[in-house]
Structure 1
Amino acid sequence: MTFIKKYKIYIILLIGIFSIILINYEDFFQSDNISANEYSEVLITSEYSESEQEHIIVDIKGEVNVPGFYEVPSYLRVGDIIKVAGGLTENADIEEINLTSKIYDEMIIIIPSLVQNHEDNTSDALIKVIVQIKGEVLNPGVYEIYYNSRISDLIQLAGGLTESADISEINLASKVYDEMVIQIPTIEEETNIMPNQDLIKILVEIKGEVLNPGVYELYENSRIYDLINKAGGLTIEADINNINLVEILEDSQVIIVPKINDSSSVENKRIIVEIKGEVNNPGIYYMDEGLRIYHLISRAGGVTESACLESIDQAQILEDGMTIIIPSESTADEEVERKILVEIYGEVIHPGTYYILESYTLIDLIYEAGGVTTNCDLSKVDFEITLCLGATIYIPSYDDEVIENTESDLININTANLETLMTLPGIGQILAQRIIDYRAEYGSYLTIEDIMNVSGIKESIYEQIKESITV
């Protein structure tokens, strides 16, 4: 008793310390487990295993509540890091961010702002710049593209990548600027040799406006246009303007092909065109009025390796109901017959512009237009007329008066074909083709003097031919 009384204070103090240690046992001895439990509450994957203890440093910026550097387990995904950083702000824009992407050491994640994106889109939407792309793209060259477009948009405009393209060190999300030159390098032979590469497969899902949405198994390094082809192609209402068709797919990735926003047709009139042949995604597409054939080729995923574009005027403006056929090199070698654009109106069932073979007769063109109406007067139709590029054909009715042609010896520069134009003094094959190309791009000549707008035809040549031509 004497001992207990003597050391009573010390005994109480020891009991108190022991009690505190028991209560906070996990804080003293299991701090690592607490860290793991905290992360487990924000995991969006189930890949964690107790053996994985590697930690990495990630920097997250922009529209998160607590931006900064974080030391986290290497098995986390981008969506996990956002939660670790306190979640997204109200202005966060994650439309183009893949939340399932794996993270890596020293990774920088930037969450953009909706407000900033809106300001950029409204102020720079109409500004265009000139850029050049070289190397491993299907159609290298100089292109006009909207300011704030990305390198991925430029690659699509150039027809997509070749099989030998190496984009491992190219940031496809970088913005382009005026007079920029992009070089797409070739894969080096030693990096191209990967044992068992062909045996590696991934699973991806595609939803939205494709004919057969679902989950598909593809080879590693396949691209989005490969997935679209495997899903049966696009529907008529698919909108792939904001989809990078050459993007390489990753395992477990989900691709959503959106539907065309009907409200957009209020501002820009849309037309329906068809593209066939050597493109990656042939089919029917809605396009904005005023766009050209090269826009349609880009929309269809670019041309294939066997495509031949020599006979295609990519600068030609698209017309509603037009069908574009991209020939292959093999068929081009067999001298595929040239196609021309002609317009027919008047007493036909379906008046409009048609893309037809150059050998077509007027009867063939009338058949393409659905035939004549019951009010058509066939006795007034000249079926011997030769169809040429840019020609405009009128099918008369019974009420129309026949106007005799008093200038039968004159050559109409709006309807004459190549051979006829070459009969003019001073006009060879090159100038004759320029006359045809000019009217196809800018429309019919209003006066005979307008022919001097054609490159190479000056006043001296005009003086030789002015008495022989008409409009």
Structure 2
Amino acid sequence: MKDNFLKYKKIGLMSILAIVVIVSVIFYNAKGFKQLNKNNTESIFVDDDNLVFENGKEDKLPSQDSVNMSKQMESKLEDKTIVVEIKGQVKKPDVYIIDENSIINDLIDLAGGVTENADLSNINRAKKLQNHEMIYIADKNDINNDYTQATNMENGSMDNEILVDINTATTDKLKTLNGIGDSKAKSIIEYREQNGGFKSIEEIKNVTGIGDKMFEKIKESITV
């Protein structure tokens, strides 16, 4: 009878040990699952302060203010450029986007410089460029090199006109304009020398002796 008691006692102890082992295994697995789930959650979690957690580390995302500031800077850069065209005796005649404060000499450099036949005698290379302006570098062998060649596009057709550049034309060239004699031609030259050139053809009305009526007569024949 004593042997039976020892036998049952041994079985009981083994049962208790087995239960302890099973409970330990279940608890360990449950703890490991929670830790794994926590790590996975942290790796994809984004909080309200624009922080991304990945493998316990945090990386900052660009804030909305930074994005807006970047867009504003890009917009300002776009606003500070102009579109101009250069033709004639330059190595790379083309349409260029250039800084709004650029001068004709900057555009010539951008176009690869002038050719051997370029005539710069009537070009004011220090003149500030205007948006959508066209610069023509004449050929020194061209008999019309005192004029600026302009292309006028109207109704889908192209008409070539020879316009007198009031910023570079000599007295004789200015006198070819309708109603312009020696006195007015000299006044035009004096005005442009004193004011750094004409910014637009309308500015010629500021010259003494040239009013609205005179401007209407010559406006189709002049350029800057």
For normalisation by structure 2, the TM-score amounts to 0.42
Using the size of structure 1 for normalisation, the TM-score is 0.25
Higher relative contact order (CA 8 A, sep 6+): 2
Structure in which a larger fraction of residues adopt helix: 2
